[in-house]
Amino acid sequence: MERTQPAKWPTLRGYLACYALYIGLLIPGTIAVLLLWRRAILAMLATFMPRSQANDLIYLASMMLLGLGAFILVIAAEPYLRDGMKRRQLMRRFWKLAIPLLIAGALAVLVLTVI
């Protein structure tokens, strides 16, 4: 009887899948934060607040918080996905990160549509 060795995990294919999903998080996350929410915040400010110096502060503070959140996602997602690949939970962990991004993007589109 011939002895076979188990497949080595993680493989190159696993790492390629991991980083492809990571890039798949970065692109929609960037679009949601930098494009959609930027326009949604400007629309909300224009609708609900008269022109004042406070608008600039509110806009800059909100964009700083959204940018910080996106930066934290970028920093935290890569080791989280890589560890999920090693534990064979890559897709589960990807969806745990992707679903909130999709909800945030849909919420921004809803705000832009209503206002």
For the residues of 32-55, what is the DSSP string, one character each? IIIIIHHHHHHHHHHHHS-S-HHH
Distance separating the N- and C-terminal Cα atoms of the chain? 71
pLDDT at 4: 53
Tokens matching residue 41: 């915040």
> Once rounded to an integer, what is the mean pLDDT over residues 104-114?
90
Residue written as token pair 């890569």: 78
> Once rounded to an integer, what is the mean pLDDT over residues 77-94?
91
Asked if residues 112 and 44 have their Cβ atoms less than 8 Å apart, the reply is: no
Span 7-65, pLDDT tens digits: 566 788 889 999 999 998 888 788 877 788 889 988 888 888 888 888 888 889 998 99
Which pTM value belongs to this model? 0.77
pLDDT at 77: 92
pLDDT at 33: 76
